[in-house]
């Protein structure tokens, strides 16, 4: 199975990069399954129903969230009918929506998408390891799902690596989101799970993690807020990771970074080029 995971879409610039690049990637690379993190897609904070549909229309099969899940209040309502929108599984019991979704892929197979939040340097929600153990146990790779993608939305690289090894052999891909900077450690772990500490953001990299530089700089220098964070509006880079899995096992055979447009050096999975 050919899987593409796209990192945090930030604001209008990130959405423009999705519209420009994702449909071509789906077509040119014959993608079977696409997951997009959309938690910053509405003005940099949260997601709306219209944007969720926009991401699906561009080629996403599932959309994941993170610590900004509820910044747009309408998400608390529409998430119940948005079957392919996945919020963190370790939110408290009774939180609207779903922490995992079994989704039909473009080639008619079954892929499980799981989202979880880290606890190091973040709001300490329920244990992400226990939440992932529950979700992976309820829908095992090969038995109930042909592929499993875990989006771990987390600040600390060590916690992300811990989740990677915890899921190794039980997921097709474990990928980190949240820090908005792509890492260079894409690899296949010993048990066969593809791993990348952070997929990076789909946003304007002439920025401070996707936001216009002036206000974050003022806060760093003076410690005094003087305005809102606003998404940078320059040309965005679509950032993510490509994985090819073994149809027999659901585990990874190949992994490569993906970057298109904007300021970062382009990266294309050569194993999908004809």
Question: What average pLDDT does this structure show over 155-163?
Answer: 98
pTM above 0.85, yes or no: yes
Question: What average pLDDT does this structure show over 95-101?
Answer: 97
Per-residue pLDDT at 64: 98
pLDDT digits (tens, 9 = 90+) for 226-258: 889 999 999 999 999 999 999 999 999 999 999
pLDDT digits (tens, 9 = 90+) for 41-71: 999 999 999 999 999 999 999 999 999 999 9
CATH architecture of the domain covering 2-272: 4-Layer Sandwich (3.60)
- The ranges assigned to domains in the chain are 2-272
- The region, left, alpha or beta by phi > 0 then psi within -120 to 50, assigned to residue 213 is alpha
Q: Name the residue among 259, 269, 240, 258 with its Cα closest to residue 151.
A: 240
Active-site positions read: 68
Per-residue pLDDT at 232: 96
Sign of CA dihedral 24, 201, 64, 70: negative
Distance set, CA 87 to CA 59, 60, 76, 98, 120 (Å) = 19, 16, 11, 6, 18
Per-residue pLDDT at 107: 94
Given a contact cutoff of 8 angstroms between Cβ atoms, the answer to whether 46 and 71 are in contact is yes
Residue 274 confidence (pLDDT) above 80: no
Give bridge partners of residue 260 from the DSSP assignment: 238
φ/ψ of residue 153, rounded to 5:
-90, 105
Cα separation of the two ends of the chain: 17
Task: Report the 10 Å Cβ neighbour count for 94.
Answer: 5
Structure tokens at 62: 């599932």
Question: What average pLDDT does this structure show over 131-146?
Answer: 97
pLDDT digits (tens, 9 = 90+) for 22-44: 999 999 999 999 999 999 999 99
pLDDT band at residue 273 using 50, 70 and 90 as cut-offs: confident
């Amino acid at each position: 199975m050919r899987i593409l995971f796209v990192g945090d879409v930030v604001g209008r610039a990130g959405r423009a990069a999705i519209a420009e690049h994702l449909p071509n990637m789906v077509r040119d690379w014959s993608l079977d399954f696409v997951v997009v993190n959309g938690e910053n897609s509405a003005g940099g904070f949260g997601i709306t129903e219209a944007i969720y549909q926009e991401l699906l229309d561009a080629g996403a099969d599932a959309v994941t969230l993170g610590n900004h899940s509820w910044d747009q209040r309408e998400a608390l309502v529409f998430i119940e009918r948005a079957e392919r929108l996945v919020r963190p599984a370790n939110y408290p019991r009774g939180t609207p929506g779903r922490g995992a979704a079994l989704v039909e892929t473009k080639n008619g197979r079954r892929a499980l998408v799981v989202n979880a939040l880290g606890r190091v340097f973040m709001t300490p929600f329920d244990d992400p390891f226990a939440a992932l153990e529950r979700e992976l146990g309820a829908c095992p790779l090969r038995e109930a799902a042909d592929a499993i993608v875990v989006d771990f939305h987390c600040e600390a690289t060590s916690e992300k690596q811990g989740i990677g090894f915890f899921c190794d052999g039980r997921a097709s891909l474990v990928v980190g989101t949240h820090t908005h900077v792509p890492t260079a450690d894409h690899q296949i772990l010993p048990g066969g799970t593809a791993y990348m500490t952070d997929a990076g953001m789909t946003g304007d990299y002439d920025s401070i993690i996707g936001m216009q530089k002036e206000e974050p700089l003022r806060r760093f220098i003076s410690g005094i807020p003087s305005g809102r964070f606003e998404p940078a509006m320059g040309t965005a880079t679509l950032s993510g990771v490509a994985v090819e899995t073994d149809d027999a096992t659901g585990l990874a055979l190949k992994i490569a970074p993906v970057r298109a447009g904007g300021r970062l050096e382009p990266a294309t999975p050569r194993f999908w080029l004809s």
